[in-house]
Structure 1
Amino acid sequence: MKRPARGRDGQQWIYDYILKTTGRAVHFEMDGRNLPIQAKSIRMVSKHLAGEAEHAECLAKEADKRGDIVSARGLYRIASEKYREAQHFTIPIISDWRWELYESCRKCAERLYEINEYPIELVSIPSEISNVPGVYHKAVVEGRAPAVVFIPGMDNTKENYPNPLENEFVQWGIHVLAIDGPGQGEMLERGIYVNPDNHVTAAKAAFEFLVSRSEVDPNRIGICGRSFGTFWSMRAAAAEPRFAAVAGAISCYYWDRLTIFDEAPIRFKQVFMAMAGMEDEGLFDEMSLGFTLKNHAKNVMCPALMATGEFDPLNPLEDAEAVFKALPGPKEMWIFEDEFHPIFAPAALAGQATFQFVAEWMRNAMNGELDNKFERKAYVRKSGEGFFG
């Protein structure tokens, strides 16, 4: 008889009740439903998200067939995102059903790339651990331009961000290489599991890829992440001194507390253990002690930007501030008043995407516009006061 793998797995009924009442699988502190109304438990979510994805894909193909490329782009994007979300919520976490959904996600995304307004390439980058899958978004600019390696959050995938229909980095003339690191997307499908260090290997390989491109300025290559990608990008910047800047928002800047595994909804730990290929909770807890920026932040010499919500339950502010304090180079921190983890487009920015400002900051940093002693911590009120100084 198979028993629960984690001590908190017995809370599943509570988790399902909260999911039913809030319409959310995580981030219960946020307002508003973001799951299909039919989903009353976590086991129902993938089915109904997949149904929504199939609907959008069907419309996309019809628009595509009629030559309505504008509508097709938007619909392929919706379908790809719905399939991506559906594969994230499968039970069991690793299953053939998950990889079928992810294949559909990729197919919709790949058709979008083919008809997109700017060029996008699918790439496979050799590394010491395995070939690193990537989506390379090329800005349409003259001469050599800056570029950024982008690392998605936790078990997110390279298809999610940047959005080809509103790519903030490309708008600023910056090429972007989004990758699946260990435990993510295609790497997880191939059985390449995550540990505290191997995203650094993937990021270094991504750096070398960008150096090899004739359209990229090798002296202006940065790295950026979202959610758990903020942790991995900071680790990479500490290990690879050639990165010209590092930035991230929706923070996971860990120092002493892994609230994401110990206090947040059990789904985070369930998924991350699958990403690590581990079933023994004790061994996972021991391994996860390596997810700290202590002894690494001090090695980040390039300009660094950290953006976080004031009450982020996955990354307590005191932890993020300890990381910020330890950074020796030029640095800036944005703390958004009364915000939680998902600071995608906070009220303080009037609903504008946070990464619009992150992209501008990285452009300025990679262009050498920050003084070596630059340091700024901004408490950004709901009114926007404090953001621009």
Structure 2
Amino acid sequence: MRFGDTTVPGWFHLPPGYAEGTKLPCLVMVSGMDAFKELQIGGSADRFLRRGFAILMLDGPGQGTCLTRGIWYDPDRQGALGTSAFDAAAARPEVDPERIMMWGLSFGSFWATQMAAAEPRFAALAVMYTNFQPRNWAIFQMAAPTFRQRFMYMTGSADEEALERIMDRMDVFRISRELKMPCFVMSGEDDSLTDAACTIEHLNNVPGPKTLVMYAGEEHGMGGSRSSQLGTPFFPLIADWLADRAAGKPLESTYNVVDTLGQMHSEPWGEARVHQHGAPLGVDQLWSDEPPVGLA
């Protein structure tokens, strides 16, 4: 795929049984900082392919094969990758250009947000395992040092000072208001790589319709808490949300919490949300299915 004066690699997938001449919705996908384009889509049983999506799975700058080509991540250029990817997907005869959507996981949640903010033609944006801390401070200052070392390589940074200058240009709050399309964010309440308050502040600033699904007691990578083990499976949940957008279903902005019994509680987003950890309401609300609800 062309990207400026170079190319970035990707795989284009079609669902099994694709009928020639059919126009499909398409997902442009970017995964996490230590992932690669061959990892995310495993085969014909993939959750997104089963729902009728075509998929353009990329190695973005700093990922996978791009690293072997010296194509480094630059926060000021990531948005342009969104336009390149959209144009590449729209040029495929199998793709409906009105239903091209963006998806990102982990660090890809930030990259995908940059790409969608710069390219308003995307019909929707869905991300999970969030990295929305300004400067991505938590992952590079508090997590394992290998994250910081790897990101120095991904950005082609020669020293710590160069990396710090790049981190200064990584702030989701600068682009939140550019997201006019429907947005979905899935996160863990106890994500050590992004404070939940940062995720909610970002979504407060998003003017388009939005859905937040937060799993109580959950970390960055889902699956370790009772909320995600007992609640709605997270990958099918995000896939169904995207399928609804592809089908043109209307979306109201909602704030959703999966409690530690696996029950999902939903409220209208309202004008703004403020994150309150744990069970902030009265005892009579802890087990209620009526809003406002606490977290069991």
TM-score bracket for this pair, using the shorter chain length: 0.7 to 0.9
Aligned counterpart in structure 2 of residue 358 of structure 1, from 220, 235, 238: 238
Which of residues 127, 131, 140 in structure 1 aligns to 2:3? Answer: 127
Measured in 2, the distance between the counterparts of 1:288 and 1:222 equals 27
- Aligned letter for 2:11? V
Q: Which residue in the other structure is 1:380 paired with?
A: 258
**How has the CA–CA distance of structure 1 residues 165 and 368 changed in structure 2, closer, same or farther, with 3 Å as cutoff?**
closer
Aligned residue for 1:62? none
Matched residue, 1:155? 34
Question: Structure 2 CA distance, aligned partners of 1:198 and 1:129?
Answer: 12
Distance change (3 Å), C-alpha of 1:133 and 1:347: farther
- In structure 2, runs of 5+ residues without a counterpart are 268-296
CA shift for structure 1 position 291: 1.1
From the CA coordinates, give the structure whose radius of gyration is larger: 1
Return the alpha-carbon distance in structure 2 between the equivalents of residues 340 and 178 of structure 1.
25
Instruction: Find the residue that maps to 1:264 and give its secondary structure.
Output: coil
What residue is the counterpart of 2:116 in the other structure? 237
1:298 and 2:177 matched: yes
SS at match of 1:217: strand
State whether structure 2 residue 92 is matched by structure 1 residue 222. Answer: no
Name the CA distance, whole Å, in 2 between partners of 1:192 and 1:177: 19
- SS, match of residue 132 in structure 2: coil
Structure with greater helix percent: 1
Listed one character per residue, the Cα deviations across residues 168-210 of structure 1 (whole Å, up to 9, x for unaligned) are 1001111111100000111111001111132322232121111
* Shift in alpha-carbon separation, 1:382–1:236, aligned structure 2, 3 A: same
SS at structure 1 position matched to 2:264: coil
Aligned to 1:19: none
Deviations, residues 195-247 of structure 1 (Å, cap 9, x unaligned) = 11323222321211110111111100000000010001111111100000000
Moved more, 299-308 or 139-148: 139-148
Structure 1 253/172 Cα, relative in aligned 2: closer, same or farther at 3 Å?
Answer: same
Larger % of strand: which?
2
Q: Distance in 1 between matches of 2:142 and 2:106?
A: 17
Q: Does residue 147 of structure 2 align to residue 268 of structure 1?
A: yes
User: Which runs of no fewer than 5 residues in structure 1 stay unpaired?
Assistant: 1-124
Contact 1:237 1:246 in 2 (8 A): yes
How far off its partner does 1:382 sit?
2.5
Deviation at 1:129, TM superposition (A): 4.5
**Matched AA of 1:126:** R
Runs of 4+ aligned structure 1 residues displaced above 6 Å come to none
Counterpart of 1:179 in structure 2 is 58
Q: Give me the whole-angstrom Cα distance separating, in 2, the residues matched to 1:298 and 1:255.
A: 15
8 Å CA contact retained: 1:334, 1:387: no
Q: How does 1:53-202 map to 2 (within 5 A)?
A: 125-139=1-15, 140-142=17-19, 143-164=22-43, 166-202=45-81
The one-letter code matched in structure 2 to 1:138 is: L
Matched to 1:254, the amino acid is: Q
Paired residue for 1:205? 84
Bigger drift between 347-356 and 134-143 goes to 347-356
Aligned-pair identity (%): 30
Cα separation, 2, equivalents of 1:134 and 1:345: 31
SS in 2 for 1:153: coil
- CA distance change for structure 1 residues 344 and 169 in 2, over 3 Å: closer, same or farther? farther
TM superposition shift of 1:147: 0.4
**Which one-letter code corresponds to 1:363 in the other structure?**
A
Q: What letter is aligned with 1:366?
A: A
1:218 to 1:236, Cα distance in 2 relative to 1, 3 A: same
For residues 18 and 227 of structure 2, the distance between their equivalents in structure 1, rounded to whole angstroms, comes to 31
1:253 alignment counterpart = 132
Q: Secondary structure at the match of 1:305?
A: strand
How far apart, in 1, do the equivalents of 2:4 and 2:229 lie?
A: 43
Change (3 A) 1:257 1:206: closer
**2-structure distance, mates of 1:365, 1:382:** 28
Partner of 2:275: none
Higher relative contact order (CA 8 A, sep 6+): 2
SS of 2:6's equivalent in the other structure is coil
- Alignment deviations for residues 294-349 of structure 1 (CA, whole Å, 9 cap, x no partner): 12010100000000000101111111111111100010001101010001686435
Give TM-score scaled by structure 1 length.
0.64
Matched to 2:150, the amino acid is V
1:294-333 alignment, distance < 5 Å: 294-333=173-212
Aligned 8 A contact 2:79 2:117 in 1: no
| Equivalence map 1:12-23=2 (5 Å) | none
